[in-house]
Amino acid sequence: MPIISKISVQKHNKDRYSIFTDSGRGEEYAFSVDEDVLIKYQLKKGMELDDFGVTEMLFQDDIRKAYNMSINYLAHRMRSEAEVRTHLKKKEVAEPVIKEAIHKLHDLKFLNDEDFALAYVRTQINTTDKGAEVMKRELKEKGIRPDIISKVVDEVSFDDQLEKAIKLSEKYALKNKKDSSRILKQKIEQMLQRKGYAFPIIRAALEQTEVEKEDDSEMDALRYQGEKLHNKHVKLPAREYRQKMKMALYRKGFPMELIDEFINEKENED
């Protein structure tokens, strides 16, 4: 059986040791191990090695390497267990090794999906305008269990969500004031849905946002939209012009009485 003839610290990694053995044919490099593995198995010069023992040491060393990879990955920010697993798989770490490394990370409190999810939700609340539904979807994509997702997203209060939804709605309404009231309402609903707000919050936000315009404001918006359509269709025969203008402006959400008023204005100009 091979006997350890020399143990030396690796030049470029002071935490790893190169093990040299002699099986009667002279000294040769055998394998390398992490310092923790060296200490655990009390490796020293003159120790006799067997195949089973070496296999076990190398397995433990692989676990240690996977653990160190994970710690480096976690150093940048908190991660879910699924994210760490995916990272190790990309590094071509074997599944049994990943399992043991993950277990070690849990034991040493470096991994906790509930803590991760809670921190993630609080960060999103404080730094983004995302709604709870988007947060749920993103946590699911990060491999968080449904029961944990439900528990941590309860941290997002209805009032906080509503306050953000109202601000978003008011900002959007101001930016799109040239749209008809009906289209503006639809667009705000769609925007809030995309951002992950639930329907009760969307309804409450719309109730507190000035979406419905006074007739004068609605007519101003119609004239803005109508002028562009008029320039496009003005050369058509009168009957076809009226038909296309009515259809286009109605699709944009304007009431028929205001559409007729605008078309009459344009025809009287001519």
Instruction: Reduce the secondary structure of 40-84 to three states and give it as a string.
Output: HCCCCCCCECCHHHHHHHHHHHHHHHHHHHHHHHHCCCCCCHHHH
115 vs 19: CA distance, rounded Å: 41
Q: 9 forms bridges with which residues in the sheet?
A: 17
Q: 4 forms bridges with which residues in the sheet?
A: 21
31 vs 21: CA distance, rounded Å: 9
For the entire predicted model, the pTM comes to: 0.69
**Residue 162: strand, helix, or coil:** helix
Tell me which amino acid residue 32 is.
Answer: S
pLDDT at 215: 52
**Residue 253: strand, helix, or coil:** coil
50 vs 42: CA distance, rounded Å: 14
* Structure token digits, residue 94: 């074997």
Element (H, E) at 95: helix 95-107
- The one-digit pLDDT tens for each residue of the chain (270 residues) are 789 999 999 988 888 999 999 988 888 999 999 999 999 989 999 999 988 999 999 999 999 999 999 999 999 999 999 999 999 999 999 999 999 999 999 999 999 999 999 999 999 988 999 999 999 999 999 999 999 999 998 878 888 899 999 999 999 988 887 888 888 888 999 999 999 999 999 999 988 887 655 556 777 878 888 888 888 888 888 888 888 888 888 887 787 888 888 888 877 775
- The reply to whether 3-107 and 113-153 are identical in fold is yes
Cβ 108 vs Cβ 174: under 8 Å: no
72 vs 101: CA distance, rounded Å: 13
237 vs 12: CA distance, rounded Å: 84
Q: Helices 181-194 and 199-207 meet at what angle, rounded to 10?
A: 140
Residue 150 half-sphere exposure, CB side, CA atoms within 13 Å? 3
Kindly list the domain boundaries of the chain, sorted by start residue.
3-107, 113-153, 158-207, 218-269
In 3D space, the residue among 228, 196, 214, 192 whose CA is nearest the CA of residue 258 turns out to be: 214
Please tell us whether the domain made up of 158-207 is placed in CATH 1.10.10.10. yes
DSSP assignment string, 2-20 = -EEEEEEE-SS-TTEEEEE
Classify 113-153 by CATH class. mainly alpha
Cβ 181 vs Cβ 218: under 8 Å: yes
Record: fold of 3-107: Arc Repressor Mutant, subunit A (1.10.10)
Alpha-carbon torsion (62, 67, 73, 78), positive or negative: positive
* Structure token digits, residue 184: 């503006």
